[in-house]
Structure 1
Amino acid sequence: MRFFYFTFVCSWLIPYFAVAQSKIDKTNHSLTGYIRDAITKQPIQGASVFITENRRGTNTSRDGFFVISLPAGTYNVKFTHVGFHAQTHTITLHKTVLTEILLQDDSKDLDEVTVTTEAPDRNVKKVELGVTQMTIKTIKRIPAFMGEADVVRSLLLLPGVTTVGEGAPGINVRGGSTDQNLVLMDDAPIFNSSHLMGFFSVFNPDIVRDVTLNRGGIAPNMGGRAASVLDIRVKEPETEKITVNGGIGVVASRLGIEGPIMKKKLSFLLAGRASFNDFLFKLMPRSIRDTKANFYDVTTKLKFQPNEKHTVTFTGYNSHDSFKLASDSLSTVEVNASSTLFEYRTLNGTLKWNYSINNRLNLATTAIYSQYRPETSVPDSSNAFRLSSEIRHRQLKADLSFTATETHQFQGGFSLIDYYLLPNKLIPGFQSNVLAKTLPVERAYELAVYVQDEWKVNEAVSIVGGIRYSQFLNRGPASVPIYEEGVPLQPETTTSSTTYNKGHIFHKTGGVEPRLAVRWTVGEGQSIKAGYNRMRQYIQQITNTTAALPISRWKLSDSFIKPQIADQWSVGYFKNTAGNAIEASAEVYYKTVQNAIDYKDGANLTLNPTPETELLQGSGKAYGLETQLKKNKGHWIGWVSYTYSRVLYTINGPFPQERVNNGQQYPANFDKPHTLNAMTTFRPNNRVNISFNFTYSTGRPVTQPYARARINGIIVPIYINRNQQRIPDYHRLDFAVEFNQDPVRSDPAKKKRYERSWVFSIYNVYARKNAYSVFFKLNSASLNDGYKLSVFGSAFPSLTYNFKF
Structure 2
Amino acid sequence: MRLFYFALVGSWLSVFGAAAQPKTDKSHHSLTGYVRDAATRQPIQGVTVFITENRQGVYTGRDGFFILPLPTGTYNVKFTHLGFRPQTHTITVNRTVLAEVYLEDDSKDLEEVTVTSESPDRNVKKVELGVSQMTIKTLRRIPALMGEVDVIRSLLLLPGVTTVGEGSPGINVRGGSTDQNLVLMDDAPIFNSSHLMGFFSVFNPDIVRDITLNRGGIAPSFGGRAASVLDIRVKEPSVEKITVNGGIGLVASRLGIEGPLFSKKVSFLVAGRASFNDFLFKLMPRSIRDTKANFFDITTKLKFQPNEQHTVTFTGYTSYDDFKLAADSLSTVEVNASSTIFQYRTTNGTLKWNYSINDRFNLATTAVFSQYRPETSAPDPANAFRLTSEIVQRQLKADLTLAATDDHQLQGGISLIDYYLQPNRIIPGSLSNVLSKNLPVERAYELAIYAQDEWKVNEVLSLLGGIRYSQLLNRGPATVPVYQEGAPRIPETTSSATTYSRGQIYHQAGGIEPRLALRLTVGDGQSIKAGYNRMRQYIHQITNTTAALPISRWKLSDSFTKPVIADQWSIGYFKNTDGNALEASAEVYYKSLKNAIDYKDGAELVLNPMPETELLQGKGRAYGLETQLRKNKGHLIGWVSYTYSRSLYTINGAFPDERVNNGKEYPANFDKPHTVNAMATLRPNNRTNVSFNFTYSTGRPVTQPYARASINGILVPIYVNRNQERIPDYHRLDFSVEFNQDPAKKRRYERSWVFSIYNVYARKNAYSVFFKLNSASLNDAYKLSVFGSAFPSLTYNFKF
TM-score for the superposition, normalised by structure 2 = 0.86
**2:110 pairs with 1:115:** no
Structure 1 CA distance for aligned equivalents of residues 431 and 84 of structure 2: 68
RMSD: 1.9
Distance in 2 separating the partners of 1:786 and 1:583: 45
In the other structure, the counterpart of 2:22 is: none
Task: Show CA shifts across 1:185-207 (max 9, x none).
Answer: 00000000000000000000000
Shift of 1:484: 1.2
CA distance in 1, matches of 2:543, 2:463: 40
Classify the secondary structure of the residue corresponding to 2:264.
coil
CA-CA distance at 1:284 after TM superposition: 1.7
Secondary structure, aligned partner of 1:211:
strand
- Does structure 2 retain, via aligned residues, the 8 Å contact 1:243–1:257? yes
Offset at residue 507 of structure 1 (A): 0.1
1:556 and 2:575 correspond: no
In the alignment, structure 1 residue 743 sits paired with structure 2 residue 767:
no
Partner of 1:202: 202
- 1:336 offset after TM fit, Å? 6.4
Residue 611 in 1 paired to residue 606 in 2?
no
State the match for 1:718 in structure 2: 718
Tell me if the contact between 2:107 and 2:633 (Cα under 8 Å) persists in the aligned partners: no
Residue 110 of structure 1, CA deviation: 8.0
Deviation digits for residues 208-238 of structure 1 (CA, Å, limit 9, x no counterpart): 0000000001000000000000000000001
Which residue type is aligned with residue 105 of structure 2?
A: S
Equivalent residue, structure 1, for 2:280: 280
Structure 2 counterpart of 1:776, one-letter code: F
Mapped contact 1:143–1:691 kept (Cα < 8 A): yes
2:582 alignment counterpart? 582
2:419 is equivalent to residue 419 of structure 1: yes
Task: Give the residue type in structure 1 aligned to 2:278.
Answer: D
Instruction: Output one character per residue of 1:72-107: Cα deviation in whole Å (capped at 9) or x when no partner.
Output: xxxxxxxxxx9899xxxxxxxxxxxxxxxxxx9843
Alpha-carbon distance in 2 for matches of 1:329, 1:111? 45
Shift of 1:325: 1.5
- 1:382 aligns to what SS in structure 2? helix
Change beyond 3 A, Cα 1:244–1:657: same
Rounded to whole Å, the distance in 1 between the matches of 2:635 and 2:601 is: 54
**Any residues of structure 2 matched to 1:369-388 within 5 Å, and which?**
369-388=369-388
The Cα of 1:263 is off from its aligned counterpart by 3.2
* 8 Å CA contact retained: 2:288, 2:329: no
Q: Distance in 2 between matches of 1:231 and 1:220?
A: 14
Contact kept? 1:157, 1:678, Cα under 8 Å? yes
CA–CA separation in structure 2 for the residues paired with 1:787 and 1:150: 30
Counterpart contact for 1:426–1:436, Cα < 8 Å: yes
How far apart are 1:329 and its partner, in Å?
11
**Residue in 2 aligned with 1:353?**
353
Cα deviation code 1:614-645 (max 9, x no counterpart): 00000000000000000000000000000000
Verify the 8 A CA contact 1:696 1:729 in the aligned structure 2.
Answer: yes
Verify: 1:774 aligned to 2:769, yes or no: yes
After TM superposition, give the deviation of residue 752 of structure 1 in Å: 2.9
CA distance in 2, matches of 1:615, 1:112: 50
User: Can you list the C-alpha shifts for 1:675-713, whole angstroms capped at 9, x where unaligned?
Assistant: 000000001111100000000000000000001111111
CA distance in 1, matches of 2:242, 2:317: 21
Counterpart secondary structure, 2:453: strand
Q: Distance in 2 between matches of 1:328 and 1:654?
A: 44
Match of 1:672 in 2: 672
Whether the aligned pair in 2 keeps the contact of 1:337 and 1:380 (CA below 8 Å) is no
- 2-side partners of 1:109 and 1:448: how far apart? 43
| Paired position in structure 2 for 1:758 | 753
1:783 to 766, 772, 778: 778
Q: Is the 8 A contact 2:39 2:104 kept in 1?
A: no
- Cα 1:318–1:39 change in 2 (3 A) is farther
- Give me the whole-angstrom Cα distance separating, in 1, the residues matched to 2:742 and 2:138: 18
Q: Secondary structure at the match of 1:240?
A: coil
Whole-angstrom CA distance in 1 between matches of 2:721 and 2:103: 58
- Give matches, 1:417-456, under 5 Å: 417-456=417-456
- 1:487-532 Cα offsets, whole Å, 9 max, x none, are 1111111111111000000000000000000000000000000000
Cα shift at 1:291: 1.1
Alpha-carbon separation, structure 2, partners of 1:458 and 1:723: 50
Query: For the residues of structure 1 that align with 2:612 and 2:160, how far apart are their CA atoms?
Result: 31
The amino acid of 2:351's aligned partner reads L
Counterpart of 1:162, as a letter, is T
- Confirm or deny: 8 A CA contact 2:728 2:766 kept in the other structure: yes
Q: Spell out the pairing of 1:476-487 with structure 2 (5 A cutoff).
A: 476-487=476-487
Q: Distance in 2 between matches of 1:242 and 1:691?
A: 32
Residues 1:603 and 1:364: Cα distance change in structure 2 (over 3 Å): same
What corresponds to 1:803 in structure 2? Answer: 798
Give the match for residue 266 of structure 1: 266
The reply to whether residue 230 of structure 1 matches residue 230 of structure 2 is yes
Distance 1:625 1:291 in 2: 42
The 2-side partners of 1:650 and 1:217 are apart by: 26
Aligned counterparts of 1:641 and 1:691: Cα–Cα separation in 2: 17
Partner amino acid for 1:378? Answer: A
Seen in structure 2, the aligned counterparts of structure 1 residues 441 and 678 have a Cα distance that, compared at 3 Å, is: same
In structure 2, distance between residues paired with 1:531 and 1:505: 36
Contact 2:83–2:107 (8 Å) recurs in 1: no
Q: Name the counterpart of 1:23.
A: none
Counterpart residue identity of residue 411, structure 2: Q
SS of the aligned residue for 1:264 comes to strand
- Structure 2 CA distance for partners of 1:335 and 1:171, relative to 1, 3 Å: closer
The amino acid of 1:744's aligned partner reads P
Aligned to 2:27: none
Unaligned runs of 5+ in 1: 1-36, 42-81, 86-103
Letter in 1 for 2:742: P
1:467 and 1:392, CA in 2 relative to 1: closer, same or farther beyond 3 A?
A: same
Which residue in 2 is equivalent to 1:312? 312
What's the counterpart of residue 789 of structure 2?
A: 794
Aligned equivalents of 2:718, 2:488: Cα separation in 1: 24
Bigger drift between 476-485 and 668-677 goes to: 476-485
AA of the residue aligned to 1:627:
T
Aligned partner of 2:593 in structure 1 is 593
| Partner amino acid, structure 2, of 1:377 | S
Q: Is 1:409 aligned to residue 409 of structure 2?
A: yes
Equivalent residue of 2:156, what SS?
Answer: helix
Whole-angstrom CA distance in 2 between matches of 1:728 and 1:337? 27
Q: Using the alignment, how far apart are the partners of 2:797 and 2:148 within structure 1?
A: 11
What's the offset of the Cα at 1:337?
Answer: 6.1
Letter in 2 for 1:745: A
The amino acid that maps onto 1:691 is S
**Other-structure match for 1:514:** 514
Contact 2:538 2:556 in 1 (8 A): yes
* Structure 1 residue aligned with 2:248: 248
Instruction: Return the alpha-carbon distance in structure 2 between the equivalents of residues 318 and 567 of structure 1.
Output: 35
Partner SS for 1:236: coil
- For 2:103 and 2:307, the matched residues in 1 are separated by 26
Q: Structure 2 vs 1, CA of residues 336 and 666 (structure 1 numbering), >3 Å: closer, same or farther?
A: closer
Contact 1:398 1:415 (C-alpha < 8 Å) held by counterparts: yes
- For residue 176 of structure 1, what is the aligned residue in structure 2? 176
Tell me the percent identity: 81
Q: Does structure 2 retain, via aligned residues, the 8 Å contact 1:299–1:318?
A: yes
Q: Deviations over 1:147-183 (max 9, x none)?
A: 1000011000000000000010000000000000000
**Superposition pairs of residues 215-226 of structure 1, within 5 angstroms:** 215-226=215-226
Q: TM-score, structure 1 length as denominator?
A: 0.86
- One-letter amino acid of the structure 2 residue matched with residue 792 of structure 1: F
Q: Distance in 1 between matches of 2:228 and 2:606?
A: 27
Which secondary structure does the structure 1 equivalent of 2:179 belong to? helix
Contact 2:706 2:720 in 1 (8 A): yes
CA contact (8 A) 1:113 1:635 kept: no
Q: Which one-letter code corresponds to 2:614 in the other structure? A: E
Are 1:540 and 1:555, in contact at CA under 8 Å, matched by a contact in 2?
A: yes
Q: What CA distance in whole angstroms lies between the structure 2 residues aligned with 1:294 and 1:432? A: 27
Query: Which secondary structure state, in structure 1, belongs to the residue aligned with residue 605 of structure 2?
Result: coil
Greater Rg by CA: 2
The answer on whether the counterparts of 1:111 and 1:685 sit within 8 Å (CA) in structure 2 is: no
User: Alpha carbons of 1:765 and 1:110: their partners in 2 closer, same or farther (altered >3 Å)?
Assistant: same
Check conservation: 1:338, 1:380, Cα contact below 8 A: no
Aligned to 1:342: 342
334-343 vs 399-408, greater mean Cα deviation: 334-343
SS state at 1:684 partner: strand
One-letter identity of the residue aligned with 2:613: T
